[in-house]
């Protein structure tokens, strides 16, 4: 009876990454929001040195006398500008710092993405090699080794070495697929 089994190529599924075009990771959105918030704080601080205007209306009655109607207009000018100017200067520094953090975070993210895209390309090329060439060779090595062993042309030790080589090719394929999927996971993590 024929004890050799036909080996089939098992190609594991590859993951896909979502090409989002514009990268808007949560970290970048956080830094952008922080920057916009400091800009608003600066405009609030600047508004404290401008005059304040208020307008009011009142209606009042006094001991049976008919209702009094009145209007009230107020204008308030800040008398001491120096402390407020110091606060404005501090807010300007905060805005600049937040902007620098935002720009640096974007730069850092783009660098990290560039690295992971290079990894993705590298493992994608390796996977293509495995799927188009190496896995087929792995099956061929195992089948031919089995046939040669059955025919008595090679010994048990050589047969085991050939099977070991076949298994090693498959293990390398699975490691490459793991690294490929890891690169996609990292890219998706950075862009989502």
Provide the 3-class DSSP secondary structure of residue 21. Answer: coil
Q: Please state, in angstroms and rounded to a whole number, the distance separating the CA atoms of residues 131 and 10.
A: 9
What tokens does 41 get?
Answer: 């704080």
Domain at 26-191, CATH from 1.10.10.10, 3.40.50.10490, 3.10.290.10, 1.20.1600.10: 1.20.1600.10
Q: Say how many residues make up the chain.
A: 192
User: Is 50 exceeded by the pLDDT of residue 3?
Assistant: no
Which residues does residue 57 pair with via DSSP β-bridges, in sequence order? 71
Domain edges within the chain: 26-191
**125-166 pLDDT tens trace:** 999 999 999 999 999 999 999 999 999 999 999 999 999 999
Provide the 8-state DSSP code for 136.
H
**59-76 pLDDT tens trace:** 777 777 777 778 888 888
- The whole-chain average pLDDT of the chain stands at 84
pTM summary value: 0.64
Token pair 């087929």 is found at: 136
Output the pLDDT for position 23: 58
Q: Please state, in angstroms and rounded to a whole number, the distance separating the CA atoms of residues 27 and 138.
A: 45
Which element (helix H / strand E) includes 192?
A: none
Output the pLDDT for position 144: 95
Provide the 8-state DSSP code for 15.
P
Q: Please state, in angstroms and rounded to a whole number, the distance separating the CA atoms of residues 49 and 82.
A: 10
**74-98 pLDDT tens trace:** 888 777 777 788 888 999 999 999 9
Residue of higher predicted confidence among 107 and 13:
107
């Amino acid at each position: 009876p024929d004890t050799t089994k036909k080996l089939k190529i098992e190609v594991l599924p590859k993951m896909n990454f979502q090409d989002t075009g514009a990268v808007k990771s949560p970290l970048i959105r956080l830094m952008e929001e922080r920057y916009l918030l400091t800009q608003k704080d600066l405009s609030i601080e600047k508004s404290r040195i401008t005059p304040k205007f208020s307008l009011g209306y009142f209606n009042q009655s006094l001991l049976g006398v008919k209702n009094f109607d009145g209007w009230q207009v107020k204008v308030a000018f800040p008398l001491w500008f120096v402390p407020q100017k110091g606060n404005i200067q501090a807010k300007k520094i905060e805005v600049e710092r937040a902007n620098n953090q935002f720009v640096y975070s974007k730069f850092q993210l783009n660098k990290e993405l560039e690295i992971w895209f290079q990894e993705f390309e590298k493992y994608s090329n390796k996977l293509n090699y495995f799927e188009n060439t190496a896995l087929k060779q792995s099956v061929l090595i195992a089948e031919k080794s089995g046939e040669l062993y059955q025919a008595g042309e090679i010994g048990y030790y050589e047969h085991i070495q050939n099977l070991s080589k076949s298994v090693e090719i498959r293990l390398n394929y699975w490691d490459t697929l793991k690294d490929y999927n890891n690169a996609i996971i990292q890219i998706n993590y950075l862009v989502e």
